[in-house]
């Protein structure tokens, strides 16, 4: 098994941590000897053992063969956090060769892990499937390189290009566009992001829960951008479980949410992303409404977009946003079409849902 093949296995293992490791990165590790896989592991949850630790635990307490190679998708850590440095463990267990997918952008690591291993006499090979490893941990990497969460936009549109049929609402509730099978996929998307953001008008009109219900997974932090204080206190997003962060301009009483005040002259998008970054929220799924999505697109504050086109026809209504680039991939989900957009180059095996 060559380095590239072993790294591909690391990436697949690392994906098992999707939705459960934030604010940490997803990481996989494989210990190989020639064509044999001796052990493997992945980071399962924030605060738990890192991938290298899981891999060596799976291998057992015996001596690591001199010709065994530890392959890991992200540079081993060299600092004390909630767990000890992985570099120290690799040195102590007598690992002779380490293959690394990409460097850790955290300033506490940032090449120092590789330097520590090499200083101990360990051969280190780097840059194996680097683009794929960076894509795997794009949320974590964006946080350190751009000082903001990774932003994913999502909306559903009618086949004739509208988000809703304006003026036809009777009471609060969403207007159905996507199929039940696509709804399951959307809830999986929610489970993989750290936060979910909507504007005030979406809360007023649709009264969404913004939780994960159709799949097993962790609920994201719910974030409501409501500078004017128009969202009803009885809305589902203020039911207290999971927690909600309200971004507003004036403190509100009787709201079951933590409140972050935005100064009148401060840009609300910048303020929201800044506060989420301060909280180590690595990613946010922006689900609407149309005005909020337009603001993110106009500012260029997005990294991915996922657009669902259903089979319904509205004839008139709120126009769906448009993006200044072509989709990088499209696929069918039942009767719906899903177009995926990214502002950076993505590997062929990009989305593994």
Structural domains present in the chain: 3-141 (3.40.140.10), 147-342 (3.40.430.10)
Two structure tokens written together for 273: 């992303």
| pLDDT tops 90 at residue 24 | yes
- DSSP state for residue 209 in the 8-state scheme: -
Q: What is the pLDDT of residue 84?
A: 82
- 0.85 exceeded by pTM: yes
Q: What is the pLDDT of residue 351?
A: 58
- DSSP state for residue 63 in the 8-state scheme: P
* Span 288-344, pLDDT tens digits: 899 999 999 999 999 999 999 999 999 999 999 999 899 999 999 999 999 999 998
* Span 178-229, pLDDT tens digits: 999 999 999 999 999 999 999 999 999 999 999 999 999 999 999 999 999 9
Question: Residues 212, 194: contact at Cβ < 8 Å?
Answer: no
* Span 219-277, pLDDT tens digits: 999 999 999 999 999 999 999 889 999 999 999 999 999 999 999 889 999 999 999 99
Q: What is the pLDDT of residue 348?
A: 65
* Span 142-159, pLDDT tens digits: 999 999 999 999 999 999
Q: What is the pLDDT of residue 349?
A: 60
Instruction: Give catalytic residue positions.
Output: 52
Output 173 or 246, whichever has higher pLDDT. Answer: 246
Angle at 160 between CA 154 and CA 161, to 5 degrees: 35
How is 263-321 classified by DSSP, letter by letter?
A: -TTS-HHHHHHHHHHHTT--EEEEEE-HHHHHHHHHHT--SEEEEEE-S---SSSEEPP
Average pLDDT over residues 134-143: 96
For residue 203, how far is the Cα from the chain centroid? Answer: 23
| pLDDT tops 60 at residue 43 | yes
Q: What is the pLDDT of residue 171?
A: 56
3-state secondary structure of 185: helix
Average pLDDT over residues 94-109: 95
Beta bridge partners of 198: 224, 288
CA distances from 152 to 102, 134, 185, 242, 314 (A): 23, 17, 15, 20, 26
Indicate the pLDDT class of residue 346, thresholds 50, 70 and 90: confident
Two structure tokens written together for 171: 């009471």
Beta bridge partners of 332: 337
Indicate the pLDDT class of residue 347, thresholds 50, 70 and 90: confident
Question: Residues 27, 74: contact at Cβ < 8 Å?
Answer: yes
Q: What is the pLDDT of residue 149?
A: 98
Question: Residues 305, 151: contact at Cβ < 8 Å?
Answer: no
Residues contacting residue 206 through CB under 8 Å, at least 6 positions apart:
172, 173, 174
């Amino acid at each position: 098994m060559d380095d590239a093949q072993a790294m591909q296995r690391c990436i697949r293992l690392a994906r098992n941590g999707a939705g459960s490791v934030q604010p940490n990165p997803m990481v996989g590790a494989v210990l190989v000897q020639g064509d044999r896989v001796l052990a493997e592991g992945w980071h399962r949850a924030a605060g738990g053992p890192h991938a290298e630790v899981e891999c060596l635990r799976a291998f057992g307490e015996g001596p690591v063969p001199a010709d065994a190679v530890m392959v890991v998708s992200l540079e081993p850590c060299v600092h004390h956090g909630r767990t000890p440095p992985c570099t120290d463990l690799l040195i102590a267990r007598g690992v002779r060769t380490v293959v690394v997918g990409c460097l850790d952008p955290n300033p506490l690591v940032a090449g120092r892990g590789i330097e520590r291993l090499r200083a101990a006499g360990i051969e280190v090979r780097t840059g194996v499937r680097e683009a794929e490893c960076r894509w795997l941990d794009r949320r974590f990497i964006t946080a350190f390189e751009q000082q903001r969460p990774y932003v994913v936009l999502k909306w559903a549109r009618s086949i004739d290009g509208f988000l809703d049929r304006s003026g036809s609402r009777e009471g609060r509730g969403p207007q159905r566009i996507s199929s039940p099978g696509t709804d399951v996929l959307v809830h999986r998307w929610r489970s993989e992001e750290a936060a979910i953001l909507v504007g005030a008008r979406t809360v007023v009109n649709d009264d969404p829960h913004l939780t994960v219900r159709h799949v097993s997974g962790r609920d994201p932090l719910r974030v409501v951008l409501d500078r004017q204080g128009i969202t009803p206190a009885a809305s589902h997003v203020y039911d207290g479980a999971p927690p909600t962060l309200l971004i507003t301009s004036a403190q509100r009483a009787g709201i079951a949410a933590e409140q972050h005040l935005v100064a009148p002259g401060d840009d609300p998008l910048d303020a929201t992303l800044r506060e989420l970054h301060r909280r180590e929220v690595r990613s946010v799924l922006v689900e609407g409404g149309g005005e909020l999505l337009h603001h993110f697109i106009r500012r260029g504050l997005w990294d991915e977009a996922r657009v669902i086109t259903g089979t319904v026809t509205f004839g008139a209504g709120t126009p769906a946003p448009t993006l200044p680039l072509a989709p990088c991939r499209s696929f069918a989900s039942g009767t719906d079409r899903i177009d995926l957009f990214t502002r950076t180059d993505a590997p062929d095996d990009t989305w593994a849902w």
